[in-house]
Amino acid sequence: ALNEAGKPAQALVELNKIRRRAGVPEYSGLTQAQTRDAIELERRLELAVEGHRWFDLVRTGKALATMTAKNYRMQAHHVLFNVPQQQ
């Protein structure tokens, strides 16, 4: 949220807390776009096999491009969720 609010330096402080705990090099001097990519990568690594990746891809609009690059036969409507008929 900090990064998207135009505060990538503050977002890096929070992201680096995770990296420090893991014992890996910290990020510094990243642009807002680079920080966004770093956060997405960190979520992918931290939350591996917890089922968050698909929803992250859909939320960021990267699902179709990512899945077709991996040779999945996917179309744009596959990222949509059905609305129950009761609703």
Per-residue pLDDT at 70 = 93
pLDDT band at 36 (very low <50, low <70, confident <90, very high): very high
Confidence of residue 2 (pLDDT cuts 50, 70, 90): very high
For residue 82, the model assigns a pLDDT of 82
Q: How buried is residue 12: exposed, middle or buried, by Cβ count under 10 Å (0-12/13-18/19+)? A: buried
pLDDT of residue 83: 84
